[in-house]
Structure 1
Amino acid sequence: MTDKIMRPLRLQINAWNGEVANGDELPNRSPWAQREQTRPSGKWLAPAARADPRDWRHPDIGWGLVLPDSDALGSAERMNGADAPEPIRRLLAARPGAPVLRWSMSLGQNFLRRYYADGRVQDLSIAAPKPGVAEGHIPRYLLIYGSPEAIPWPVQYALNMSTFVGRLDLTNEALDRYVNALLSDWSATPCQPRAPVVWRVDHGRDDITWLMARAVAGMLWTKLESDTDLTGRFLLRDGEATRGRLGEALAERTPGLIVTTSHGMTGPLGDEALMRAQLGVPVDVARQPLQLSDLGAWKPSGAIWYAHACCSAGADSRSRYADLFPTNSPISRTVNGIAATAGAVIAPLPQALLGGEAPLRAFVGHVEPTFDWTLRDPVTQQVLTHVITTALYDELYQQKQPGQSFLPTPIGYALRNVFAEAGAFFGAWQDAIKGIDGNVPGMRDWALYRQLVASDRQTLVILGDPTVSLPPLM
């Protein structure tokens, strides 16, 4: 690819801290796009098994649990998850044959470890796993139980490329509520799949929210609006995109799907307690961060929430973009300030909703910011968000065909092409690196762009069990 890339003079991120601008001049030369990083290479997703990949109960597909490893445990305890809290052990018991896989720092982003009853131990490749629950295999659906300090985000990013993975970091009553709802498939508190709610914040054409409102929320709304089955659909935009109106709409409709596009709250930088308390929450049209009290009358009831905002899922102790810009630039101060102040955490909004009364099914969001540049093709300027809108509508709302039994689409499977796209862009980035070595004009800009897109897609994460799906339209 030697077409001249449209290289912007500035980049914006979807983060707002109330003090620092969210845009920066793009350096003429940056080593960031050329730095080799440890990632899987070659084939990104393992060959699909003959079984329907949506059928996580099939032994050739499978579901498994990922726990931190511990030398304090014996082989049998490591194998059966004896150290996991009671609700997690109950979930394992309800899914017979599900293996427990272990992770430790020594395995990096390359392997998960399986222990067997006869004392054998296997380190299994994350990059190209054999799918299923049999010996030597890694299930396609994985639930990480642990904080991003215990099992770091980059492990989840690596698993995103080859499995369908979610994460839970709940304890005590919150964990018990989620597992009880999961095992009953939210039968006691059903949501309304016919009533999706879309909330799109727009701060004007010069702000990244303008592009997100059109490229993500707007394109999705076009699909939802044309579906005559979705009689309860509702859009909040422009002056209606306030935190109060969002809370009212959720309480009125009990939607099965919630989609929000906005800045994510990332301030105040340096105030650890306050930043952690409001990290990643959507910022409304009046630049007010959403409060849990705004949602007081709403019970999630098994909804799936997709939040396109910086840090909506959490933050890490070191941003992937730490050295993309000069140290004192606005974006560097923002991403490095988030890492230094918040550290490796899950954002408070999904934590509260996944562990609350009548909890969410799943929350899908980013651990890093999205850049305006990565939402468009740099040559044609066409938006590159079709994999997201396809996942949230065409996949999640896929219904049975005539003569077929209903098999819902799990959220992990619905998002598979987002991560496949990450793999494609990582591969294209490597090609651009070769172009740089060969002195091909424009390859430095292509390398930077492709790595930014790949990282943006890969750092989308699922919080909650990846097997959950929307209930059928009855």
Structure 2
Amino acid sequence: MLEEQLYFNGIDGTTGKYLLPPLTPEQVAKIAQCEEFDPAHLRELQHKDRSVKGLELDFAPIEGVDPKNLAETGWGVIFAFDPEAKGPNPAIKEALRELLEHRQRQATQNNEKYYQEYLYRPGESKNQFLARYGVGPGPADPDKMPYYLLIVGEPESIPYRFQYQLDVQYAVGRICFDKPQEYAQYARSVVKAETGHFSLPRRASFFGVCNHEDKPTQLSAAHLVQPLAEWIAQEQPSWEVQSILREEATKARLGELLGGDATPGLLFTASHGMGFPSGDIRQASHQGALLCQDWPGSQWHSAIPEDFYFSASDVGDEARLLGLIAFHFACYGAGTPKLDDFAHRSNLAGGNSTGRSAIAPQAFVARLPQRLLSHPQGGALAVIGHVERAWGYSFSWPDIRGFEQSRRQLSVFQSTLKRLLEGHPVGSAVEYFNERYAELSFDLSAELEEIKFGKDADVLSLAGMWTANNDARSYAVIGDPAVRLVVGNQPFNAFERPTIEPVFLPTALSPEALEKESVFSQIDKKLIEVWINEESPLLTVGNTYTLNFNLSVPERGNIHGDIFSELLPQQGLDTEWVLSSSTVQLKAKTSNMFLEGIPIKGSNKTVWTENFSLYVPIYGDSKTVQLDIKPVFAKNVYISVLIYANGNLYRQFDIELDVVYSRLEDKVSIIE
């Protein structure tokens, strides 16, 4: 067994050779002994491992929260920082509005704080990000941060490392597209799938390539795809299970499963993923494409033609994909990091370098899942795949003696697919891979520590542990982690897959056009409304009232000023509001608020300040922001309001209250 070479997934598209040459267990064990762990991240993995083993409280989410119910788990979005906008990219945010509003309605049924929008700051670690929002380590608590988190941004702006680490504690997905139109098409696809009153047939397809004289695909076809399909057929009798193996697993057949007439609800594939050298013109568009049975196998030693693999360019405009969830076991199937995580392979040649070589000029999301999710006819809901390499020995443990069947380690795959088929959101389903990553990292770090202090290395065990740990860590969800399979009981042959309505985004005006044309004059004016919920005729010192802010078409009759009658940008306007008062105590009632009370020296007064963000859309109303107010004096009672846009003071006014005698509508006024 020690002489047996370990083969790894991935084919170099320029040479036709393996991306990594076969290695012996001793070589892999040597690499493993150079592994280094982030101490803080390792502690969190150890906590998660203990929770899996029942030694600590459940880790994600907290006990009593139903992961199928967004009203209990919450849902949040993490935007990348746009330097020009000094915040989220407004065009992307507007393109996603249909999805954001849909998730907000679902998540806030019981608690309005269960929908959140966050901003990632460049260079921020996971712990720094959580600490900035008042969240510490431990189980996902929706009262502090939602369990389902969607990252919106390219991995150069929000790194894959941040996603890996956040995924230990939360259910995390990512979307990243080239154009706002693609974001909008994905948003509409999700909303259509969840509100369009349709369901897909219960069909799951398993596609397993087995190339000639190719150890990795022979292993995955016989000991991953085929046994998974057989197990699902037995475990889920209400599902039709289709196996496409070996000679049948051609590119043409995969095209039928990815947008053609045979597209299922769930698709699982195992194959080589295509890889290209850094800077190659094909890398961005074809890396992570799926190499099919058309490849003759390991005797092929020249560039791989496109006829052998399935890429984004093979998904035509007529494809029907709406509602699909796909799982691709393939190198780079989800994305590619900038630097090689196989950090120490240069030592195999006798070198001393411990640096990480560049895989690509920059990290990126694979183009195939991007195309599947953003299809103009309606896209897939999510793709599960690898960032970096796929390690075949993660499901076939090399140090277990006996036949290949004895080495199979499929429970994580089985549990994930079972959850998907039983209606769990995809982020909840892949939690088993996160648990496996936590367990393996803990065990691997402990083993390496003992070897460091003199224990003889068990080469086979260490090689298997290291490859399995890398494999479990590298899975990523491309798509919203809260999506799930939308299936019913209709037969497949009688089903026609629906499409989405075309998405038309407003055409952005040039800076010159914006100077000449007031976009605002073409739409409903935005007027500020301030009102109090309680119907008491008097405001009384010591009583608490709910004060509301809204920018909308006037309806309530207590309008106090036209503060946005000038030109609004085409993408709307993100504003920051700062409220302060020494005569009215302010208390946060809506999420994303920062409250502070500062005593005034030499006085019995305190200055209360409150900050919140408010997006002003170009069409329709803004959301309503609420806060509790409690008058503490009866004379000269007012709240000062400052509004900032793009870092500059945009508006300033006071809300003046007569607390003792008059009705609110007679006495609340704004002084500009």
- TM-score, normalization by structure 2: 0.60
Letter aligned with residue 420 of structure 2:
L
Letter aligned with residue 64 of structure 1:
G
Corresponding residue number in structure 2 for 1:397? 421
Corresponding residue number in structure 1 for 2:338? 317
Cα distance change of structure 1 residues 434 and 159 upon mapping to structure 2, 3 Å threshold: same
Which whole-Å CA distance do the structure 2 matches of 1:25 and 1:415 have between them? 29
Letter aligned with residue 388 of structure 1:
F
Corresponding residue number in structure 1 for 2:12? 17
Letter aligned with residue 391 of structure 1:
T
Corresponding residue number in structure 2 for 1:85? 93
Mind listing any 5+ residue stretches in structure 1 that lack a counterpart?
1-5, 115-120, 399-407
Deviations 1:334-359 (A, max 9, x none): x95xx434630111100111111210
Q: Do the aligned partners of 2:67 and 2:424 also contact (CA within 8 Å) in 1?
A: no
Q: Could you tell which deviates more after superposition, 284-293 or 187-196?
A: 187-196
Residue 281 (structure 1) shift: 0.8
Cα distance change of structure 1 residues 270 and 397 upon mapping to structure 2, 3 Å threshold: closer
Cα distance change of structure 1 residues 249 and 460 upon mapping to structure 2, 3 Å threshold: closer
Q: How many residues are treated as equivalent by the alignment? A: 435
Match status 1:273 vs 2:250? no
Mind listing any 5+ residue stretches in structure 2 that lack a counterpart?
49-58, 296-307, 401-405, 490-672
Letter aligned with residue 466 of structure 1:
P
SS across alignment from 2:169: coil
Give the share of equivalent positions with the same residue, in percent: 23
Match for 2:116 among 92, 95, 99? 99
Q: Do the aligned partners of 1:199 and 1:261 also contact (CA within 8 Å) in 2?
A: yes
Match for 2:262 among 253, 262, 265? 253
Match for 1:290 among 295, 310, 313? 310
- TM-score, normalization by structure 1: 0.83
Residue 213 (structure 1) shift: 1.2
Letter aligned with residue 263 of structure 2:
T
Q: Could you tell which deviates more after superposition, 93-102 or 280-289?
A: 93-102
Which whole-Å CA distance do the structure 2 matches of 1:466 and 1:68 have between them? 17
Match status 1:36 vs 2:60? no
Corresponding residue number in structure 1 for 2:389? 369
Match for 1:353 among 349, 354, 372? 372
Match for 2:243 among 201, 218, 235? 235
Corresponding residue number in structure 2 for 1:402? none
Cα distance change of structure 1 residues 186 and 242 upon mapping to structure 2, 3 Å threshold: farther
Residue 248 (structure 1) shift: 2.6
Match for 2:226 among 200, 218, 227? 218
Deviations 1:241-286 (A, max 9, x none): 110122134522331011111000113x255221222111110112
Q: Could you tell which deviates more after superposition, 314-323 or 289-298?
A: 289-298
Which whole-Å CA distance do the structure 1 matches of 2:446 and 2:71 have between them? 39
Corresponding residue number in structure 2 for 1:131? 141
Q: Could you tell which deviates more after superposition, 138-147 or 449-458?
A: 449-458
Q: Do the aligned partners of 2:120 and 2:129 also contact (CA within 8 Å) in 1?
A: yes
Residue 422 (structure 1) shift: 0.5
Which whole-Å CA distance do the structure 2 matches of 1:326 and 1:7 have between them? 20
Residue 372 (structure 1) shift: 3.2
Match for 2:432 among 403, 407, 417? 417
Q: Do the aligned partners of 1:195 and 1:253 also contact (CA within 8 Å) in 2?
A: no
Task: Point out the structure with the larger strand share.
Answer: 2
Letter aligned with residue 309 of structure 2:
P
Corresponding residue number in structure 1 for 2:646? none
Corresponding residue number in structure 2 for 1:156? 163
SS across alignment from 2:68: coil
Residue 185 (structure 1) shift: 2.5
Q: Could you tell which deviates more after superposition, 179-188 or 460-469?
A: 179-188
Q: Counterparts of 1:188-199 in structure 2 under 5 Å? A: 192-199=200-207
Which whole-Å CA distance do the structure 2 matches of 1:8 and 1:278 have between them? 35
Which whole-Å CA distance do the structure 2 matches of 1:464 and 1:247 have between them? 21
Deviations 1:100-136 (A, max 9, x none): 223224432323258xxxxxx53534x425420x3xx
Larger relative contact order (CA 8 Å, sep ≥ 6): 1
Match for 1:441 among 431, 451, 456? 456
Match status 1:465 vs 2:480? yes
Residue 187 (structure 1) shift: 5.3
Q: Do the aligned partners of 2:76 and 2:148 also contact (CA within 8 Å) in 1?
A: yes
Match for 1:146 among 150, 153, 167? 153
Q: Could you tell which deviates more after superposition, 282-291 or 38-47?
A: 38-47
Cα distance change of structure 1 residues 292 and 67 upon mapping to structure 2, 3 Å threshold: closer
Corresponding residue number in structure 2 for 1:53? 67
| Structure whose alpha-carbon radius of gyration is higher | 2
Letter aligned with residue 370 of structure 2:
Q
Residue 172 (structure 1) shift: 1.6
Residue 305 (structure 1) shift: 0.6
Residue 375 (structure 1) shift: 2.4
Corresponding residue number in structure 2 for 1:3? none
Q: Do the aligned partners of 1:422 and 1:454 also contact (CA within 8 Å) in 2?
A: yes
SS across alignment from 1:229: coil
Q: Do the aligned partners of 1:13 and 1:370 also contact (CA within 8 Å) in 2?
A: yes
Which whole-Å CA distance do the structure 2 matches of 1:25 and 1:214 have between them? 21
Residue 91 (structure 1) shift: 3.0
Corresponding residue number in structure 1 for 2:584? none
